[in-house]
Amino acid sequence: MLLVGARVLVADDCMVTQAMLQASLSEWGIEVVSATDGHQALEILTSPNPPRLALLDWVMPGFNGPEVCRRVRHQKADRYVYMLLLTSMGDKEHLIKGLKSGADDYLFKPFDPDELKLRLQAGARVVALQEELEKKTAIIQEKNQELEKHNQFVREAFGRFVTDEVAQQLLDTPEGLRLGGESRTVTVLMSDLRGFTPMSDKLEPSQVVGMLNLYLSKMVDVIMKYGGTIDEFIGDAILVIFGAPMTEGPKKDAERALACAVEMQLAMKDVNRDVMAMGMPPLGMGIGLNTGEVVVGNIGSEKRMKYSVVGSHVNLTSRIESFTLGGQILISGSTLSHVGKKARVDGRLRVKVKGLDHAVSIFEIGGIAEPYNLYLPDVDYSVEELQ
């Protein structure tokens, strides 16, 4: 029978009613848990493993039956309890009040054993369905937790290459992970350490890696702060995109890129303090920026792809960066036109760039105004260094 082995709470302060109910329930193979007042009943029903069926007297010391029902439902426990109110009052308003309190059913006193059995069997069927739902809910929650762990791992791994916001956008947008590209106006930043390659030839591999990781860790923090997308590490060089896959518009992207470049140069003070503490000479970094239309998107194959940027403006950025000295920022005229008067221009150069049949102007930048207010200390370069 459906009730065999079930646990039922009997809460009634009348010992005669308690005895009669226990006799009937025990005869049907039911385990009885007893309470003589509402406080005891509530404590039992809100315990970690409560009886799933309850017979509650309407009137008893402490909390009455409806109040016990209301408090149990308010707890929103994981385990559903099917509660029947025992009452000798049969008017409609009285019964509606009981059901509104959270009771599932009611039984008139003096009770009829056959009616009691039928109502308990109906409750047992509801409890069985609830238990099945609880099991499935637990499985779903477990799967959701596993999925969240997996997604968190993907976000953390992906976030090593792009900002958290970019990673989330691409993960939330399936088409963002398809092969393909689009034309976009972006600002490209390229940085490189001066003299690092010959220096690394004289150091132990562990020293080279330690120095490089120290430097890149600091630079990546700054790049992420300004929402740059790291396209690639090429040894000690860093290629960063501002304006893809997320953009605030070419002007804002260029401003963020320049502010990032200035803060990267300022961060070299901390880098060199740690480098010299390792017994190695200080490092100098040059940064080049250029703004223009490029192709950005996922390049490669379905098995292996990379979010990257392609175009002549990427090459021009590399050429501009090659003219820099340690501690210097050089930008193209197109980047300057987007940043405008916010940039502090410390010098102008006319240079011949490989791949172009005419000289181009590039500008040395010493800082950026509101809202960033970042400025490099003044540096005096010789005429020979600037040519």
Whole-structure pTM value? 0.59
Say whether domain 7-138 belongs to CATH 3.40.30.10: no
Using alpha carbons, list the distances in angstroms from residue 17 to 37, 53, 55, 112. 13, 17, 11, 12
Judge if the upstream peptide bond of residue 110 is cis by omega within 30 degrees of 0: yes
**Letter for the amino acid at 124?**
A
Using alpha carbons, list the distances in angstroms from residue 229 to 182, 225, 241, 302, 342. 16, 11, 5, 21, 23
Torsions phi, psi for 348 (to 5 deg): -135, 140
Query: Angle 2-135-139 (CA atoms, 0-180°, nearest 5)?
Result: 165
- Residue 63 tokens read as 């909390």
Say whether pLDDT at 383 is over 60: no
Strands 53-57 and 82-87, bridge-based pairing: parallel
Q: Three-state SS for 239?
A: strand
3-state secondary structure 101-135: CCCCEEEECCCCHHHHHHHHHHHHHHHHHHHHHHH
Identify the CA nearest to 83 among candidates 99, 105, 62, 113: 105
Least confident of 10-14, 349-353, 363-367: 349-353
pLDDT for 381 equals 44
Separation between Cα atoms, residue 287 and residue 225, nearest integer Å: 17
Q: Please, what is the average pLDDT of the chain?
A: 86
Separation between Cα atoms, residue 341 and residue 165, nearest integer Å: 29
Torsions phi, psi for 99 (to 5 deg): -70, -35
Say whether pLDDT at 382 is over 70: no
Residues of the chain with CATH 3.30.70.1230: 179-375
Q: Which residues make beta-bridge pairs with 361? A: 350
Separation between Cα atoms, residue 36 and residue 38, nearest integer Å: 7
CATH number of 179-375: 3.30.70.1230
pLDDT for 168 equals 65
Using alpha carbons, list the distances in angstroms from residue 21 to 2, 55, 329. 18, 9, 88
Q: Do 265 and 287 form a contact (C-beta atoms < 8 A)?
A: yes
Contacts 24+ apart (CB under 8 A), 270-274: 270/218, 271/214, 271/215, 271/218, 274/214
Residue-by-residue DSSP string for 300-356:
E-SSSEEEEEESHHHHHHHHHHHTPPTT-EEEEHHHHHHHGGGEEEEEEEEEE-TT-
**Letter for the amino acid at 14?**
C
The fraction of the chain above a pLDDT of 70, given in percent, is 89
Least confident of 79-83, 184-188, 299-303: 299-303
Query: Angle 235-216-154 (CA atoms, 0-180°, nearest 5)?
Result: 95
Selected residue with higher pLDDT from 79 and 272: 272
pLDDT tens profile 288-346: 999 999 988 777 776 776 777 888 899 999 999 999 999 999 999 999 999 999 999 99
Q: Span 220-238, mean pLDDT?
A: 90
Q: Do 145 and 125 form a contact (C-beta atoms < 8 A)?
A: no
Kindly give, in sequence order, each residue whose CB lies less than 8 Å from that of residue 120, ignoring residues fewer than 6 positions away. 3, 6, 8, 30, 53, 84
pLDDT tens profile 191-218: 999 877 777 777 788 778 888 888 999 9
Residues of the chain with CATH 3.40.50.2300: 7-138
How many other β-carbons are positioned within 10 Å of the β-carbon of residue 3? 16
Q: Which residues make beta-bridge pairs with 35? A: 11
Identify the CA nearest to 253 among candidates 162, 343, 185: 185
